Structure formats: C-alpha cells, structure tokens
Amino acid sequence: MSKKTKTGFERAAVGRVVRRLEREPALIQILVGPRQVGKTTAARAVIGRWRGPSRYAAADLPLPPGPEWIHTHWTAARREVSDRPVLLVLDEVQKVSGWGESVKALWDEDRAKNLPLRVLLLGSSSLLLSRGTSESLAGRFFLHRCPHWSFGECRQAFGWDLERWLFFGGYPGPVPLTGEEADWRSYITDSLVETVLARDVLAMHTINKPALLRNLFLLSARFPAQILSYNKMLGQLQDAGNTTTLAHYLRLLETAFLVSGLERYSPGQARSRSSSPKLVLWNNALVNALHVRSFEECRSDPAFWGRLVENAAGAHLLNHLQGLSCEVMYWRQKNDEVDYVVRAGADIWAIEVKSGRPGRKRGMSVFTRLHPKARMLVVGPGGMDLEEFFSVDPREIVNT
C-alpha cells in the first residue's frame, strides 16, 4: 500500500540553501516550515554537502532555552574556524527567548572581525521567526521555505498516485504506517498534531483558553474547504468567548502551518477582514487523521472526496505562495462563489476546482464579469488536469 522513500531523494530546498551559503555576500540562511516535513533532514543533507567544519544543535527542548544557548554553540563554532568557513546550524531557533537580538549581535561581531562563519537557522513557527527577523535581522538574512510535501515529491519518493496523496497528505514520516490506517491516524494525531499544538502554539504564546484553541482546530478539520461564519463557530464551540478570540486563535493555527481562515476578496481592497473565513487545512492528513472513515469509504463518497480535492488545492496554493507577493482568498456573493482568488502583484487569478462533487455553485462567470481583468483557471474536468495542477509549483502559474 505504501513504498519506502527511494534512495537518494532530496528536497529542492537542500540545493538552494547550499548555493546561498556558498555565495557572497554572506547572509544568515533561514529555513522555515511545518514540523515533520524534513527540515532537519534537509539541514543534515546541507551539512553533508558542506566542504568544511560544521556544528549542529537543536533548541527543541522540554523547557525553552535562553539566549546563552545560542552564545554557547556560536562560540564553539568560532573555535573551529581556520582556513575554511564553518557552518553553524541551529534548529528550532524560535524557541530561544530573544533569539533575534542574540543572533544579530553575534553575526555583527563576526562581520566586523571578518570571521568566516556561515549560519543556517531552522524554525517551525512563521510568526515567531518573522518577529525575530523583522525586529533584529533586517538586511542580514535570506529566507527559504520548506512546505508540506507536494504530490510530485510523494510520487517521486514513494511511488504514490494522486488519490493516495489526496487522502494521506504530504507528511513523509508516517508513510510506512499507511498500510494500517489506525496506526497512521494515531501517529498524525499524537506525534504530530499534539506536538505542534503543545510546543509551537500553547507553549510559545499566551493562550487564555487552550481548550478552545484545540477545539477550533478539530472543528476546522470537520469542515475542510468550507466557509464558516464566526457566529456559526461560536454556536458549535463551548466556552468560545467572542469572534475576536476565534480570529486570533485561527491566526495562531495558521502560523503553525495547520489551518488558515481565508478571507473574502472584495473589490477595491485585497481582503475583507470582517468576512466569514474559508477554512483550509495545510495538509489533507490533518483532515483524514481525525475522521474514522477509511480511504475506500472516503473515495466512494463524491461529496466528501470533492471537499478533500478542494482543500488540497487551497493547501497547495498556501504552501507555495507564502510571502508578501501573493495572497490566497476566496470570493462569494449571494449564491455565487469562486473557490480561490489569488492576488499576485497586479494580477488577479480566479480558480475553480472541479472534482465531480454534486451541487456545485457556479460563480466564475459572475466574478469575471465584475472583474474583467481577472485571469481564470479551471482545475479538473474541462480545465487543467488535477495531476498536472498538483505537480506544478503554483508560482509558475500565477507568474505566467
């Protein structure tokens, strides 16, 4: 039912990081992405290709370390500098309090002394990393993103077909468990989701209602690729507080690469921030691990399978269009709806996902009539083939 990773498979991020480390000017390289997608494996591959001394340390400890942790490993790396640059790799660096200020001070000291130390930082919280980089490291770093595994990667590494990827998602670690779906579900929920919630969200942020945050994630998994008003969420969650709290917690789940609440595209502005969010989970494994239906049962349910396809399309866009240059939204006006709207610079893309799900509302023609400069993309029957869409980096589509 599953295949082991093919020998020698390497994610593209490895080559990109190596090339940047070897180029001038020397910059701090930062690799950010979800847990369990291979950031540490990629870092070790970078170390393997590095032509010189290296040092690796991880801050993913039961209690978050202080800035002295960075100073200790940085000083040890400095001692190894000789005629060749030394590579220092610090994993889960966002766990270190005041990490940005510490890295900035040490990096600037090395630049002033012409010390050939190269630095690679890894992290699994986009919010905490962005705070450190924006507050302390401006002009000193180059950011690499390591998203969930795409269909193309899973096909190449594991020999998966599209249906298997749509159900099991893009986490490489539990691939050997997919033959026993109960074990696979336990791994995703216990080893992955609980770890992310406990270490990357609850332990790193002030959360007044931790049970609410967990229940909001569970609710999102029940409604993949669906538009759900905050009032409806309040009606289904106990001790839900208010809409402001829900919106904040949804944002925290997004920074941990779990769930995004897409906002409605509105004329004259990039997003409508008071709109009902469209819930998109960043990996279909997060949906199916929390459902009791098997792969075969899901595949035989056109309505639910259609939701999985639509959620996977949204996740594909989110994973690969992160950053300031693109925004992923949706559009709805009365009964007319467009699955996804992507703003890429001055261009607007309207994307409709077709998967055979019955009762689909058609809104593409209305949207393009209201926004005649928008570019259209139909994914599925009658448009771009699903396998082709999920095999292509969306940046290649929106930049054409």
pLDDT digits (tens, 9 = 90+) for 318-352: 999 987 688 999 999 988 999 999 998 889 999 99
Q: How confident is the model at residue 133 (pLDDT cuts 50, 70, 90)?
A: low
What pLDDT sits at residue 324?
A: 66
Q: How confident is the model at residue 274 (pLDDT cuts 50, 70, 90)?
A: low
- Those residues whose C-beta lies under 8 Å from the C-beta of residue 41, and which sit 6 or more positions away, are none
Predicted TM-score (pTM) of this structure: 0.91
Question: Residues 82-100: what's their mean pLDDT?
Answer: 91
pLDDT digits (tens, 9 = 90+) for 377-389: 999 998 999 999 9
Question: Residues 113-129: what's their mean pLDDT?
Answer: 85
Instruction: Kindly tell me if the per-residue pLDDT of 200 is higher than 90.
Output: no
CA distance linking residue 220 with residue 234, whole number of Å: 13
pLDDT digits (tens, 9 = 90+) for 280-326: 999 999 999 998 899 999 999 999 999 999 999 999 999 999 876 88
What pLDDT sits at residue 3?
A: 40
Question: Residues 153-178: what's their mean pLDDT?
Answer: 96
- Those residues whose C-beta lies under 8 Å from the C-beta of residue 163, and which sit 6 or more positions away, are 295, 299
pLDDT digits (tens, 9 = 90+) for 1-18: 334 444 468 999 999 999
Instruction: Kindly tell me if the per-residue pLDDT of 220 is higher than 60.
Output: yes
Residue type, 237: L
Q: How confident is the model at residue 87 (pLDDT cuts 50, 70, 90)?
A: very high
CA distance linking residue 247 with residue 340, whole number of Å: 20
Class of domain 12-145: alpha beta
CA distances from 144 to 17, 49, 190 (A): 7, 17, 28
SS3 for 371?
A: coil
Residues of the chain with CATH 3.40.50.300: 12-145
- Those residues whose C-beta lies under 8 Å from the C-beta of residue 54, and which sit 6 or more positions away, are 47, 86, 87, 88, 89
CB of 118 within 8 A of CB of 21? yes
What pLDDT sits at residue 260?
A: 97
What pLDDT sits at residue 83?
A: 81
